[in-house]
Chains A and B, each alone.
Chain A
Amino acid sequence: MKPLPMVTDCHVHPPGCDVATMIARAEAFGITRQCLFALGNEIDPQFPAPDGGHWSSIGAPHHTDAWNPPPERITASNEFVQSLVQQAPDRLCALCFVNPVHTDHALAEIRARVQQGPMLGIKLWISCKANDPLVEPIAELAVELDVPILQHCWNKFGGNMPGESCTADVAELAGKFPRLKIIAPHLSGQHEDGVLDLAPHPNIWIDTSGMLPDAGILEFAVEAVGVNRILFGSDLPMRHQGSALARIQGSALRDRDRRAILHDNFSRLFNQ
C-alpha cells in the first residue's frame, strides 16, 4: 500500500470530541491537517451545553435562528474554534465564521482573528446569499487582507433554503470581485451544471465536502475547472472523513493530481 502524502481536510466543523481524539481519528485515514470553522451555534453563552462542552455544528436545540446567529454566539463560537487550534497548531487551522447581516461585528471579528491571526480566512454560511450587497464589505476586506472566503453553496433538488447560495450566486460574487479568492464547497451538491457555473471564474476553488461521495463528479470537475482549483474537504461531523477521502482515492486521477487536491492546492491558496 502506498503511504498517503500530506492530506489537509479543508472543511471541518468542530466535532463532539476532544482535540486529541479528533486528530487521532483523522490520522487513521491519513489526514494530517484539518481546517476548522464554526457555524455560530456551537457555543451559546446563555445556554451552555449540558456536558460543559459545545453544541454540535447544527446548534443547540433551542436555536430557531440557527441560520442567522447573533454576534455574541458568533464570537463565542469563533473563540472556541480558536482554542481548539491553539491546542494543536501544527495539526489544526481555522477560518473565521461571520454573519454578513451583522456587518460591523463581522468586520471586527475578521480584523481581530484573521488580520491579527491565527485564523487563515473567512467562512460564510446561509444568513444571506453570496450576491447580497451585505457580503460586499466582507469581500472588500478579504481582498485587502488577501485571504479566501469559503462561501457555502448548494444546488438542491427542490430548492435551497432562504439565504442559501447556489453556484450562480457565488459566480456573481466572483465576477464582482475578481481579486477575491472564493472556495465554493460541496462539489456533489453543485452537480455538473453548478461546476460549469463556477468554471469560468479563476478566483473560485471548489471543495469536495458534503454528501455521500458520488462517483464521476470529481473527474468531471477536474476537467472543467482544472485540478489546481479543487480542495479536499469532508464536512465532519456531518460526514465521515474516511468516506470523504474515499472519493479522492477512488477517482481516476494521476498521483500528482491527487496530491494537489489532498494538500498542495490548500497549501498554495492559504500560503501555508
Chain B
Amino acid sequence: MIDHNVWLGAWPFRPLGDRGTVPFLLKTMDRLQIEKAWVSALDGVFHRVPRSSNCWLADQVAGHTERLEAVPVLHPGQANFSDELGRIAGQTPRPAAIRLVPAMQEIPPARMESAGEELSVCGLAIVLTVRLVDPRARHPRLPIPELSVADTLRWLKILRPAQVILAGCNINELSSLDSIELPEYVAFESSFLDGPDSLDLARQTVGKRRILSGSNAPLNFQEAMVAKWRQGAIPPL
C-alpha cells in the first residue's frame, strides 16, 4: 500500500507531537504495513517561496528514499516559479510528483495560465491539494479555504495533459467533477472519502484505478486509511 498524501513538519494550529517526523512516520508505516509514502513539507504550504522547506524535505527523506518519496511544494504565484520548477524537474532522481496548494495564494489568471503551461509539460505528476482540513473545523485564522469545484476544474483544464492527483476531495466533489467527463489523467486521493461506502462509490463513479490510497497524515491518521482500504481491524499504537 502506498500513502499518496503525507506531510512532514509541524502544523501551526494544533500540536501533533512527533507525528510530523520521519521516525514516527516510518514506525507507523511499519506497524501498518504501508510500503511507501509521498511526503511534502507542511512549511511549504505557508512559505511564500517554499524552496527552503523543499530542501529541508529532501534532507529528511535522504536515506529513506526507498520508502519516502519527496513531493516538493510549489506556488505558481511565486516570482521564481519557472526556475524552481526547472530545478525540481532537473533533480536526479526526479521526484514522482510536485504538490500545489492553489487555495493558499491569490494567483492572477494570466499567471495561472503560464504556470499551468509549464507544469503540464514538465513531466511530473501534480498533486493538486483541494483541502487540508474539514471546513467545519478550520481554525478562524487558517488562511486556506478549500479549492472549489469550479477552481479545480480550471486547474485541470490548464494542467492538461499532466497526470493530476486531487488530494482531499470528498465524495460530493468527486461526483460533481465526474459529472463533467473527467479526463483520464485525473486521479483522486482517498483521505476525505470517509463514509462507510464512499470508497466503493468513488470506485464505481470514476473507476477503481483512479482512486489512490492516502491519509493526510499527520493531520489525520494513516490508521484510518488502512482501515478503509483493508476493511479490517488495525493494531493499536
Interface residues of A (CB under 8 A from B): 1-2, 4, 15, 25, 28-30, 154, 156-158, 188-189, 191-192, 211-217, 219-220, 236-243, 245-253, 255, 258
Residues of B within 8 A of A (CB): 14-17, 19, 28, 133-140, 191-192, 194-198, 216-224, 226-228, 231-237
Q: Does B136 contact A250, Cβ atoms closer than 8 Å?
A: no
Nearest CB in chain B to that of A262: its residue? B236
Interchain CA distance A216-B217 in the complex, whole Å:
11
> How many Å lie between the Cα of A189 and that of B228 in the bound state?
21
Which of B15, B134, B196, B232 has a CB less than 8 Å from the CB of A212?
A: B134
Known: A214-B137, A242-B224. 6 other contacts (CB 8 A): A2-B235, A219-B17, A238-B195, A242-B233, A246-B234, A249-B236
- Complex CA gap A103/B144 in Å reads 43
A–B pairs, 8, beta carbons within 8 Å: A211-B136, A237-B196, A237-B197, A243-B228, A246-B221, A249-B234, A249-B236, A252-B237
Given A2-B236, A213-B224: A240 in contact with B196 (beta carbons within 8 A)? yes
CB pair A213–B220 under 8 Å, yes or no, is yes
In contact, B194 and A239 (Cβ under 8 angstroms): yes
Residues in chain B near residue A28, CB distance under 8 A? 231-233
Contact A240 B198 (CB under 8 A): yes
Closest to B193 in A: A240
Verify A212–B135 contact, CB threshold 8 A: no
Contacts of B133 in A (CB 8 A): 214
In the complex, which of the residues A157, A217, A241, A243 has the most CB atoms of chain B within 10 Å of its own CB atom?
Answer: A243
Q: Are A243 and B194 in contact (CB under 8 A)?
A: yes
B137 touches A249 (CB 8 A): no
Q: Are B17 and A258 in touch, CB under 8 angstroms? A: no
Contacts of B228 in A (CB 8 A): 240, 242-243
Contact partners of A238 in chain B: CB under 8 A? 195
With most chain B CB atoms within 10 A of its CB, the pick from A1, A154, A214 is A214
Of the candidates A29, A211, A243, the one whose C-beta lies within 8 Å of that of B232 is A29
**B192 and A212 contact, CB distance less than 8 A:** yes
A260 to chain B, nearest CB (A): 13
Question: Which chain B residues border A191 with CB–CB below 8 Å?
Answer: 137
Across the interface, which residues of B come within 8 angstroms of A25, CB to CB? 196
A2-B236, A213-B220, A243-B194 as given contacts; A189 in contact with B19, CB under 8 Å: no
Q: Is the pair B221, A247 in contact by a Cβ cutoff of 8 Å? A: yes
Cβ of A215 and Cβ of B217 under 8 Å apart? Answer: yes
CA distance A192 to B191 in the complex (A): 23
* B11 → A minimal CB distance (Å): 8
Tell me the nearest residue of chain A to B231, going by C-beta. Answer: A28
Q: Tell me if A246 and B224 are in contact (CB < 8 A).
A: yes
CB distance from B120 to the nearest CB of A (A): 31
* Chain B hits for A213, CB < 8 A: 220-221, 224
B224 contacts A250, C-beta separation under 8 Å? yes
The distance from the CB of A84 to the nearest CB of chain B, in whole angstroms, is: 16
Closest to B28 in A: A250
